[in-house]
């Protein structure tokens, strides 16, 4: 005879304020198999859990029903609780009477209570049909893959490597460094950005535990937590890096000049190049689209001048395969392409309207102008510089609804730099709100305004030309007046958006993105660096707009998550997975087609039939890959697949309890 205990939680007033918990506990006591039923104010608290443990022992309970909040919140908590009392942790059922009753029916306490009673009846009916489940274990490959070599990827890789584990850092560009190394100074301390990031880049290159793969992209990811197999394509660089010494003769002599991506088209680079002097690896690549030898079979100068014979025009893309136990996504961000959306700011046709990142390159001592702020149109020093914030941010009509978080601060930094570098310069900042939540941030903003930057609250409606200057028309919504500012240079703070290929990468790796294309974390508060796919972690702006401190903090957090995983030799696998009854499976493999996790494979079994041994195909569930979604159980025509913990009998018992 099964002995069920029911524990009804008040959740403070969350449930107790609506549902008649005392009545619910009393009614539950009358259900079959229930031998103990109580209500309690905070069941998840330490005394609450002790009460459950004590009750299990005192009343010899072998099944437990908790009527409380969503199982998403505390199912694990209560599983551990009953395990402490010696019960199998899977002999637990939760009736969600908070989200499903008190919260949605708060105006109708009577009906909410009736519904709660039904839900508990359902839970009791199921719990008596549950069977003990046991966790299996999966081996773990103690090597991590970090996708993206910006500051987030670098920090994660270094932290994991310092903890003694092997890391593969994969970057699609010829160098690591990402966006941070393009910046001039970092707010609020005004440290030199490259002075912070380039030593870390070198540390990556020299770390014995880090394997650095540049010019690489992920092609395919298979496997599951602890056991991923990743196929990577390494694009041809046409330079043999084992021979190259990075002497620089090749790019000095290369005759072909093209706009530099690193300097955002503000300067030129050669067709064989390193993106910037401190690049890691500090060896060149040939840009196949622009190389005259590779496109027209002419030139070949670099090969002639290379003293070590490192140039190899025949080099082909290579395919690599790596085994890893965890993957950290650090694919970063791009800037919103304002020129396609903002006709009122000139669609990118005025050369003196630039983006914040272009300004960073310009004000950078190693940038295209050697740190001098100039007008791109005529090279003159600007006197009036207008900054426009929220270009593409907080603009549902033309851009993105969200706030891009870093722009208020970097615009304050830029305004400060204009005032600092150009005598008698004026900086005007058009803003919607100024948001400076961060240590030392508000003080930094105040310093900028104290220095004389003029903040004007209102959007810019239009940028016009006025002779060789620009005329910025906008509103001052504090004065309730239209304003026009003559500007020599306009700097737009454009929104952060996910990297162009981020969505494809997410699909390859096997997790989801949010409505804006950023990577979806498992829970914004409780699991901010994890995804809903076990073993995949997030770092930096691929998850949402962030500044450098937040990015680095999250990157280290992701590294810790990886180290936690690697701290065990084997890991427990959730036992609530599908299982195939091979005796009735007839091998149609309809389940394989619907499985989103590629967890079902065909298996040949041999069995005796009428004195003969025959071979036939059946479905087999890889319990490491199975996430327990249950799609296969629905697709199975012969009813051979069952989800453990959600078998047909258990679900039918629930339906009967509610409907009959």
Partner 1 sequence: MRYAYYPGCCDHTSAKEYDISTRAVCKALGIELMEIPDWSCCGSTPGHSTSHLLGIALSARNLALVEEMGLDCTASCAACYQRLAMANVEMKNDTQLCEKINHITGKPYRGGVKVKSILEVIAEMNQSQILAKVVKSLKNLKIAVYYGCLMVRPRDIQIDDPENPTIMDNLLQNLGAQTLEWNYKTECCGAALAMSNEDIVLKLANKILADAKSAGANCIVTACPLCHFNLDMRQKKVNKAYETDYNLPVFYFTQLVGLALGIKPEALCLRDHFIDTKHILKLIV
Interface with partner 1 (CB under 8 A): 342-344, 347, 464-467, 471
Residue closer to partner 1, measured from CB, 346 or 510 = 346
Between helix 548-566 and helix 151-162 the angle, nearest 10°, is: 30
Compute φ and ψ for 175, nearest 5 degrees. -135, 155
Closest CB 338 distance from partner 1, rounded Å: 12
Measured CA to CA, the distance from residue 474 to residue 472 in angstroms comes to 7
CB of 584 to partner 1, least distance (A): 55
Q: Are strands 34-40 and 166-170 parallel, antiparallel or unpaired?
A: unpaired
Residue (288 or 475) nearer to partner 1, CB:
475
- Contact partners, residue 325, CB within 8 Å, separation at least 6: 140, 141, 142, 143, 144, 225, 226, 227, 228, 535, 565, 566
Cα 80 to Cα 89: distance, rounded to the nearest angstrom: 6
SS3 readout for 145-204: EEECCCHHHHHHHHHHHHCCCEEEEECCCCCCCCCHHHCCEECCCCEEHHHHHHHHHHHH
Shortest spacing between CB 341 and partner 1, in angstroms: 10
C-alpha 6/C-alpha 31 separation (Å) is 10
Task: Say how far apart CA 652 and CA 305 lie, in whole Å.
Answer: 78
Strand pairing class (92-96; 285-286) = unpaired
Nearest CB to partner 1, comparing residues 178 and 346: 346
Smallest separation, CB 402 to partner 1 (Å): 23
Q: C-beta of 401: minimal distance to partner 1 in Å?
A: 18
195 vs 464, beta carbon nearer partner 1: 464
Shortest Cβ 397–partner 1 spacing (Å):
9
CA 139, distance to chain mean position in Å, is: 25
Q: HSE (CB half, 13 Å, CA atoms) of 57?
A: 10
Handedness of CA 525, 530, 533, 534 (dihedral sign): negative
The two structure tokens encoding residue 561: 């998550």
- Tell me if 415 sits within 8 A of 440, measured CB to CB: no
Closer to partner 1 by Cβ: residue 22 or 464: 464
CB of 229 to partner 1, least distance (A): 49
Give least dist CB 465 to partner 1, A: 6
- Name the residue among 560, 546, 562 with its Cα closest to residue 178: 546
Q: From the CB of 482, what's the least distance to partner 1, in Å?
A: 12
Helix axes 151-162, 193-206, angle to 10 degrees: 40
- Using the minimum distance from each CB to partner 1, give the nearer residue, 464 or 652: 464
């Amino acid at each position: 005879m099964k002995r069920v205990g029911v524990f009804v939680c008040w959740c403070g007033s969350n449930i107790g304020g609506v549902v008649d918990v005392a009545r619910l506990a009393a009614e539950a006591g009358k259900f079959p198999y229930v031998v103990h039923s109580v209500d309690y104010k905070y069941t998840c608290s330490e005394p609450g859990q002790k009460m459950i443990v004590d009750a299990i022992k005192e009343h010899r309970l072998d099944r437990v029903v908790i009527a409380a909040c969503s199982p998403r919140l505390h199912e694990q908590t209560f599983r551990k609780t009953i395990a402490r009392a010696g019960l199998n942790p899977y002999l637990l059922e939760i009736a969600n009477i908070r989200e499903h009753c008190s919260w949605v029916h708060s105006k109708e306490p009577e009906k909410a209570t009736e519904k709660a009673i039904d839900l508990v009846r359902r839970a009791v009916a199921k719990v008596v049909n549950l069977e003990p489940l046991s966790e299996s274990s999966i081996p773990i490959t103690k090597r991590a893959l970090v996708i993206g070599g910006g500051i987030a990827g670098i920090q994660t890789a270094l932290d994991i490597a310092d903890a003694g584990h092997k890391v593969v850092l994969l970057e699609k560009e010829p160098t690591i460094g990402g966006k941070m190394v393009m910046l001039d100074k970092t707010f609020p301390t005004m440290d030199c950005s490259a002075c912070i990031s380039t030593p870390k880049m070198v540390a990556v290159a020299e770390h014995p535990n880090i394997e650095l793969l540049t010019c690489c992209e992920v092609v395919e990811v298979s496997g599951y937590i602890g056991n991923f197999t990743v196929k990577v394509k390494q694009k041809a660089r046409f330079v043999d890096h084992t021979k190259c010494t990075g002497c620089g003769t090749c790019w000095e002599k290369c005759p072909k000049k093209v706009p530099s991506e690193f300097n955002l088209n503000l300067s030129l680079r050669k067709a064989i190049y390193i993106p910037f002097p401190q690049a890691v690896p500090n060896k060149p690549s040939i840009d196949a689209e622009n190389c005259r030898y590779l496109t027209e079979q002419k030139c070949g100068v670099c090969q002639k001048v290379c003293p070590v014979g490192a140039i190899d025009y025949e080099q082909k893309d290579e395919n690599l395969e790596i085994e890893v136990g965890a993957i950290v996504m650090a694919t970063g961000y791009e800037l919103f392409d304002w020129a396609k959306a903002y006709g009122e700011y000139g669609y990118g046709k005025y050369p003196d309207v630039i983006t914040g990142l272009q300004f960073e390159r310009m004000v950078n001592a190693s940038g295209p102008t050697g740190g001098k702020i100039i007008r791109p149109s005529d090279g003159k020093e600007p006197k009036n510089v207008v900054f426009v914030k929220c270009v593409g941010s907080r603009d549902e009509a033309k851009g993105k609804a969200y706030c891009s978080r870093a722009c208020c601060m970097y615009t304050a930094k830029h305004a400060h730099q204009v005032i600092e570098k150009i005598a008698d310069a004026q900086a005007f900042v058009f803003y919607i709100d100024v948001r400076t939540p961060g240590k030392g941030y508000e003080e930094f903003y105040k310093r900028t305004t104290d220095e004389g930057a003029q903040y004007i609250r209102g959007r810019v409606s239009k940028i016009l030309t006025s002779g060789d200057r620009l005329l910025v028309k906008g509103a001052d919504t504090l004065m309730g007046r239209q304003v026009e500012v003559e500007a020599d240079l306009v700097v737009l703070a454009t929104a952060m958006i996910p990297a162009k290929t981020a969505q494809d990468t997410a699909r390859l790796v096997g997790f989801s993105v949010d409505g804006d294309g950023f990577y979806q974390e498992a829970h914004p508060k409780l699991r901010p660096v994890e995804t809903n796919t076990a073993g995949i972690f997030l770092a930096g702006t691929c998850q949402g707009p962030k500044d450098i401190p937040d990015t680095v903090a999250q990157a280290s957090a992701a590294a810790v998550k990886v180290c936690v995983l690697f701290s065990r030799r084997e890991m427990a696998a959730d036992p609530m997975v599908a299982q195939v009854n091979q005796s009735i499976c007839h091998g149609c493999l309809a389940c394989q087609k619907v499985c989103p996790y590629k967890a079902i494979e065909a298996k040949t079994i041999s069995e005796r039939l009428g004195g003969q041994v025959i071979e036939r195909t059946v479905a087999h569930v890889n319990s490491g890959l199975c996430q327990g979604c249950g799609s296969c159980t629905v697709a199975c025509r012969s009813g051979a697949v069952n989800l453990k913990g959600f078998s047909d009998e258990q679900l039918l018992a629930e339906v009967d309890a509610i409907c009959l």
